[in-house]
Amino acid sequence: MLTNKIKWNKKQRNMATNSLDNILKTALSYSNDNAFRQDVYYLAQKVFSLSYSDLLIERQKIFDDTIFIQYLNRYLSGEPLYYILKEAPFMGFDFMVNQNVLIPRNETEELTKLLIDEINDNNIKQAKIIDVGCGSGCIAISLDLLIKDSIVTGVDISSKALKVSKKNSQRLNAKVNFYLSDCLDKVIKRNERFNYLISNPPYIDQNSFVQKSVLNYEPPLALFADNKGLAIIEKILKDLDKVLLPKGKAYFEISPEQIDDLIVIIKSILPNYNFIFKKDINDFTRFLLLEKE
Ligand SMILES: C[S@@+](CC[C@H](N)C(=O)[O-])C[C@H]1O[C@@H](n2cnc3c(N)ncnc32)[C@H](O)[C@@H]1O
C-alpha cells in the first residue's frame, strides 16, 4: 500500500512547471508496480491532454504540474484514479463517473462484447435490450451506440446512479430510455418485453474480502447482495420469463464461486431454460447465459 505523499524538491517545484520527463520520473519513483506505472501514464495523458505516443516523444516539453501532483497525491492516498478524473473508459467511450456509480470494469466489457457479437453475428434487427442495474449506463449506452437499430432500456434502483447514466447518454449522443426500478418490478408494471436482458448485478457476498479503495469509495449498493451475493440475481431470474420475448436470452456477470448455487436456482425457477457459463479472459467463470425455449 502506497502512503507516501509526493513532495517535489525545491528545484523541481520552482515555478510549478517541469519537463514531462522529470514529472514522470519523479512520479514513477514511488513504485515499481506495473499497474501503478500504467495509472501514472494514464493520469499524465489525461491531465496534460497527451496521447500515449506523445508521452514517449514529448519528454522535454514543459508543463504546469500543479494539478498532476494534486491528483497523484489523492491517488497515493487510495482514491480510485477514475473518481479523481471523473471519467472512466469503457468499450472505447469515456463515461462520466462519481461515487454514486461503480467504476466500469474490464470483465463487464467482455460481457457487453458477448452480447454485441451475438446480435451482430446473427444479424438481429431492432433488438430490444434491457440492462438491469445500469449504474453509469456504460453497458446500455455502449450497446445503443455499437448495435445498429437496437432499442435499449436501462433500469436501476438508485436515482443518483440514474442521474449519471442519463447525463452519459446525453454526452455520448445515445438514445437509451433510463428509469427507476427495483430489479424488474417497474418493467413488469409497464408490461415491457425484450429480446435480450443483460445485467452486472451487485454480486459480492457481504463477508468477502474487498480491496480498501473499493470499500472506501464505491457505492455498497453496487457491490454487495445478501444470500452469498445471490439475492439480486435471484430476484431478476424469478421475473425473467415475464420480460423475455420467445427465444429471448439473458446475459449476467457473476462471481465464479456462485456456479453451484446458481445451477440449483435456475433448475428450480426456470426449468425450461437452457443455460451455460462462460469464462473471462483470466480463465475465471464469470458469465451466465440463459436462453428461453
Ligand atoms: C455492479 S453495479 C453495475 C453498474 C453498471 N451496470 C456497470 O456494469 O458498471 C450494480 C448496479 O445495480 C444497482 N442495483 C442494486 N440493487 C438493485 C435493485 N434491487 N434493482 C435495480 N438495480 C439495483 C446498483 O445501484 C448499481 O448501479
Where do we find the cell 439480486? 232
Closest CA to 265 of 256, 251, 275: 275
What is the maximal distance between C-alpha atoms in the chain?
71
The answer to whether 223 and 217 are in contact (CB under 8 A) is no
Q: What is the mean pLDDT of residues 84-90?
A: 97
CA of 182 to the centre of ligand 1 (A): 10
Using a 6 Å cutoff on CB, does residue 81 contact ligand 1? no
The answer to whether 59 and 20 are in contact (CB under 8 A) is yes
Q: Is 66 helix (H, G, I), strand (E, B) or coil?
A: helix
- Sorting pLDDT into bands at 50, 70 and 90, what band is 2? very low
Record the pTM.
0.94
Closest CA to 291 of 261, 231, 238, 247: 247
Using a 6 Å cutoff on CB, does residue 40 contact ligand 1? no
Q: What is the mean pLDDT of residues 193-208?
A: 96
The answer to whether 247 and 226 are in contact (CB under 8 A) is no
pLDDT of 1 higher than 60: no
CA angle 24–105–275, rounded 5-degree value: 155
Using a 6 Å cutoff on CB, does residue 119 contact ligand 1? no
List, in order of start, the domains of the chain with CATH numbers.
10-77 (no CATH), 101-291 (3.40.50.150)
Atom 13 (ligand 1) nearest CA: 133
**Ligand 1 atom with least separation from CA of 135:** 27
Pocket mutation for ligand 1, best pick of 90, 102, 165, 218 (most atoms within 8 Å of C-beta)? 102
Using a 6 Å cutoff on CB, does residue 221 contact ligand 1? yes
What is the rounded CA–CA span in Å between residue 93 and residue 96? Answer: 10
Where do we find the cell 409497464? 190
Using a 6 Å cutoff on CB, does residue 154 contact ligand 1? no
What is the percentage of the chain residues whose pLDDT exceeds 70?
95
Using a 6 Å cutoff on CB, does residue 108 contact ligand 1? yes
CA of 77 to the centre of ligand 1 (A): 27
The answer to whether 52 and 37 are in contact (CB under 8 A) is no
Using a 6 Å cutoff on CB, does residue 254 contact ligand 1? no
Q: What is the mean pLDDT of residues 182-199?
A: 98
Helices 138-146, 106-121: axis angle to 10 degrees equals 30
